[in-house]
Amino acid sequence: MTSREKVRRALAHQPGPVAVDFGSTMLTGMHVSCVAALRAHYGLPRHPVKVCEPYQMLGEIEDDLARLLGSDCVAANGRGTMFGFPNEGWHEWRAPWGQVMLVPAGFNPRAESSGDVYLFPEGDKTVAPSGHMPASGYFFDAIVRQEPFEEDQLDVADNCEEFKLLSPADLDHWRCEFARVRGEDRAIVSAMGGTGFGDIALVPAAFLKHPKGIRDVGEWYISLVERRDFVHRIFDYQCEVALKNLAAYAALAGDTIDVFIVCGTDFGTQSSQFCSPETFDELFAPYYRRINDWVHHHTTWKTFKHSCGAVRPLIDRFIDVGFDILNPVQCSATGMDPVQLKADFGDRIVFWGGGVDTQHTLPFGTPAEVRTQVTERLRAFSPNGGFVFNTIHNIQARTPPANIVAMIDAIADFNRTGN
């Protein structure tokens, strides 16, 4: 059975070996420091690791490492980054923690005497920085650059300037990217962008030189209540552009893609939700339904919904609007018990993640504790398919390599023995 067949069985809710994903998305990857540590552990050629996503400082998991980790998925990647520059023109950069890595040409930081590092939209140092890494940090935070506004002068167009039709350069990129992965024996996962309505990570627009409109995180959440018509008009415009782009993107992809990432919008906190189920129904559901319906009508792809947190009260809604997959399955959040999630929803949605806690167990537990939790999660989620193993979101910096290896070994042993 090929890796792609394993994933497809999981997506079809059919029993079989547990499929695994490490690195096919910007939500299922590893910090660049962990990638380097694993390459050293497995005796792979040592060279600076590429930072494939500079916002979270995720490292590229190259094919040699991916195969050792047992990953059954591979990405068809877009051109850009969260800071608006493309992943090309690589050069070396030494991070504050001392690691030398490869970063794109647009990664043009300013380091302060304090050790803090700032990044700039499109790599342009003539404008205000849009990303900040503290001297003791391991990734960037977006800098809010919202300009003052008058309520009666708010313009929907200001919050829509990033939603554009795919350019000829974009289409050329996707043509080459799909050609690169076509014929892979692993499942293909891809994200076009522009379909994550209200994704709070994108609200500050770290990729724009002069973001206009509502770009403050707190102000955006206020808008979901007090400016709902304004938000509807943004979502409606975004959806129209996304549907046009989907037609062009799908014409190039065909059946190459197995999984299409629709949404990175978080709806859960550690203990509750960012909005009520009724607000989801009224404000978000119509647009997600349109995207998912288009994908399911025109392609064979499965649609992927990311949301951290305590989203159990919303899972039925996610299913109702057409999402096939839920990630990262934050079992440490309120109401997210893995056994109960599988019993209540496991035949209607695929759980992609939840394999081990990245807040506590994986970074701070012992290898034995990691192994125990991984095995428990595999037993909970894997019966009758509907599960792709990944950690709960990305593996964070300073996670001990021994713990990551313990996780990988536990998966391999479970697939070999079935328990």
Average confidence score pLDDT of the chain: 97
Buried b (16+ CB within 10 A) or exposed e, 388-399: bbbbbbbbbbeb
CB 61 within 8 A of CB 30: yes
Per-residue pLDDT at 419 exceeds 90: no
Question: Closest Cα partner for 117 from 144, 84, 140, 101?
Answer: 140
**What phi and psi, each to the nearest 5 degrees, are found at residue 187?**
-70, 145
Residue 139 lies in a domain: no
pLDDT of residue 418: 81
Q: Give the helix ranges, DSSP H, for 254-284.
A: 277-279
Residue 100 lies in a domain: no
Q: What is the pTM for the complete model shown?
A: 0.97
> 3-state class of 303 per DSSP?
strand
Contacts 24+ apart (CB under 8 A), 61-70: 61/22, 61/23, 61/29, 61/30, 61/35, 65/35, 65/38, 65/39, 66/22, 66/23, 68/42, 68/44, 68/408, 69/20, 69/22, 69/38, 69/408, 70/20, 70/408, 70/411, 70/412
Q: Tokens standing for 335?
A: 């109401």
Residue 14 lies in a domain: yes
Residues 183, 188, 193, 198, Cα dihedral to 10°:
170
Residue 92 lies in a domain: no
Looking at the chain, the whole-number percentage of residues with pLDDT higher than 70 is: 100
Residue 140 lies in a domain: no
Q: Where residue 308 sits, what CATH number does that domain have?
A: 3.20.20.210
Distances (CA, A) of 70 to 132, 221, 301, 371, 385: 34, 40, 23, 16, 17
How many domains are contained in the chain?
A: 1
Rounded average pLDDT over 296-318? 98
Residue 294 lies in a domain: yes
The residue with tokens 């996962």 is 189
Distance CA 413, CA 419 (A): 8
Which residues, including other chains, have CB under 8 Å from residue 241's CB and lie 6 or more apart?
163, 164, 165, 194
Domain around 263: 3-45+61-84+146-417
pLDDT of residue 318: 98
Distance CA 126, CA 348 (A): 50
Residue 116 lies in a domain: no
What is the amino acid identity at position 20? V
Per-residue pLDDT at 157 exceeds 90: yes
* Confidence band, pLDDT 50/70/90 cuts, at residue 142: very high
The number of angstroms, rounded, from the C-alpha of 399 to the middle of its chain's C-alpha atoms is: 19
Per-residue pLDDT at 322 exceeds 90: yes
* Per-position DSSP letters for 279-295, written without gaps between them: HIIIIIHHHHHHHHHHH
Residue 119 lies in a domain: no
Question: Closest Cα partner for 198 from 113, 286, 116?
Answer: 286
Which residues, including other chains, have CB under 8 Å from residue 296's CB and lie 6 or more apart?
303, 322
pLDDT digit string, tens, across residues 14-37:
999 999 999 999 999 999 999 999
Rounded average pLDDT over 382-387? 97
pLDDT digit string, tens, across residues 166-213:
999 999 999 999 999 999 999 999 999 999 999 999 999 999 999 999
Per-residue pLDDT at 225 exceeds 90: yes
How is the chain split among helix, strand and coil, in percent rounded to 5?
40, 15, 45
pLDDT digit string, tens, across residues 75-124:
999 999 999 999 999 999 999 999 999 999 999 999 999 999 999 999 99
pLDDT of residue 252: 98
pLDDT digit string, tens, across residues 323-352:
999 999 999 999 999 999 999 999 999 999
pLDDT digit string, tens, across residues 44-75:
999 999 999 999 999 999 999 999 999 999 99
What is the amino acid identity at position 92? E
